[in-house]
Amino acid sequence: MPGVVIVGAQWGDEGKGKATDVLGSRVDYVVKFNGGNNAGHTVVIGDQKFALHLLPSGILTPGVTPVIGNGVVVDISVLFTEIDALIERGVDPSKLLISNAAHIIAPYARTLDNVTERFLGKRKIGTTGRGIGPAYADKINRLGLRMGDLFDEQLLRDKIEGSLEQKNHLLVKVYNRRAITVDEVADELLQYRDRLEPMVTDTSLVLNQALDRGETVLFEGGQATMLDVDHGTYPFVTSSSATAGGASTGSGVGPTRIDSVIGIVKAYTTRVGEGPMPTELFDEMGDFLAEVGHEYGTTTGRRRRCGWYDAVIARYAARINGLTDLVLTKLDVLTGLEQIPVCVAYDVDGVRYEELPQDQAAFAAATPVYEYLPGWTEDISGARSFEDLPQTAQDYVMALEKISNCRISAIGVGPGRDEIIVNHDLLHVRGA
């Protein structure tokens, strides 16, 4: 039985939350393996809309065990705000498990995120301000606090002290902020200890045992390929491994246990924050995509930058993640366009690039080479099989499949849980 990974194939907000939710009824565990509350997933169930940040989208499916893996950074106060809001709406989060090795976003990480951005000025990343970068920096610097540390108060205080020694120099001498005390950090974190105790465990063991029993585990990536710290548009990226490899390191499940990797792509492109985006539109077509697609961030409310589908990026995502399938979302948003431009390659100073330029300046200078595909005017939100789509919409999907180098196994035609066309079995085992 499969281990299935879901990753974003663009710059995030492709509809990963909905895809996880759709598959949720067929899986036993949903694991978030990277990122933190910088993510924002909107899931629409009937007339109810849920916005999730830190919790895996599987939390909305009864019977599924949601897991926060070791690769995630956890803001504990946000965790409980989100849990309590779900309980109020009748969702039962009692099965949630959290890795004892997941790192904690300490209160000073949020402060440092915001002051660093301010000091970067025009070089800023446009972060979500949730303390993600500083929390991962502490992890890599071996100065981080882990969930398991909460249950050894002396160890926790000792680690906070070690971390603050350096932070306070920075905060006071460089950023002109007040110093933070060990007590205030320890008190804030320790207030959650009793509530956390039943959730925090060795989740790698739990997941591997589930796979041994033949159960299905879905690994849900936050952010996306182009925001991955290694493979994205560095330095305009997030601080974690958002690509498929991150599913293994971020959960403690080996790569041999992963059977399929599903990439989620929008039928166009969006990006939040700074950094290059070759197909970005600055005209009324960009406004059209933003308004019809409701492209406003789930986490920060920022308007997303919008542009046409970029097949260079889709091919890159297929390669970096070893994608077995693509889920194409938001096809309905393109309804009503006479022609739909699709970027098939880049032009950089007169040179054609079929693959992503690895040079930061070349990528920043890339202009899209477009092919133009005919559009459709029919409402497609009621389509439930590929044949229900108008011929030109079918042709658009087939053209995207070809130039993206990966089969398209499902097509989103609206935000609702049932507004999807499933073309192939998404939980297939490669080669079966």
The set of catalytic residues is 13, 41
Distance CA 188, CA 186 (A): 5
Per CB under 6 A, the list member of 163, 216, 329, 409 interacting with ligand GDP is 329
| Smallest distance, ligand GDP to C-beta of residue 139, A | 23
Query: Across the strands, what pairs with 408?
Result: 326
Site track 22-61 with ligand IMO (rule: CB under 6 A), x = hit: ----------------xxxx--------------------
- Residue partners of 252: CB distance under 8 A and separation at least 6: 69, 70, 99, 101, 203, 204, 205, 207, 208
**130: contact with ligand GDP by CB under 6 A:** no
| Residue pair 106/145 in contact by the 8 Å Cβ criterion | yes
Distance CA 5, CA 421 (A): 20
Q: What residue 415 binds from ligand IMO, Mg ion, ligand GDP, none (CB within 5 to 8 A, per partner kind)?
A: ligand GDP
- Residue partners of 173: CB distance under 8 A and separation at least 6: none
Instruction: Choose between 203 and 223: whose C-beta lies nearer to ligand IMO.
Output: 223
Site track 12-51 with ligand GDP (rule: CB under 6 A), x = hit: xxxxxxx--------------------xxxx-x-------
Per CB under 6 A, the list member of 224, 264, 320, 356 interacting with ligand IMO is 224
**222: contact with ligand IMO by CB under 6 A:** yes
**273: contact with ligand IMO by CB under 6 A:** yes
| Smallest distance, Mg ion to C-beta of residue 178, A | 34
Helix (H, G, I), strand (E, B) or coil at 290: helix
| Smallest distance, Mg ion to C-beta of residue 66, A | 17
Instruction: Choose between 232 and 368: whose C-beta lies nearer to ligand IMO.
Output: 232
Query: Across the strands, what pairs with 104?
Result: 74
**223: contact with ligand IMO by CB under 6 A:** yes
Instruction: Choose between 100 and 127: whose C-beta lies nearer to ligand IMO.
Output: 127
283: burial class by Cβ within 10 Å (0-12, 13-18, 19+)?
exposed
- Residue partners of 117: CB distance under 8 A and separation at least 6: 124, 125, 126, 127, 129
Tokens 């960009």 locate to 286
* Interacting residues with ligand GDP (CB under 6 A): 8, 12-18, 39-42, 44, 298, 329-330, 332-333, 412-415
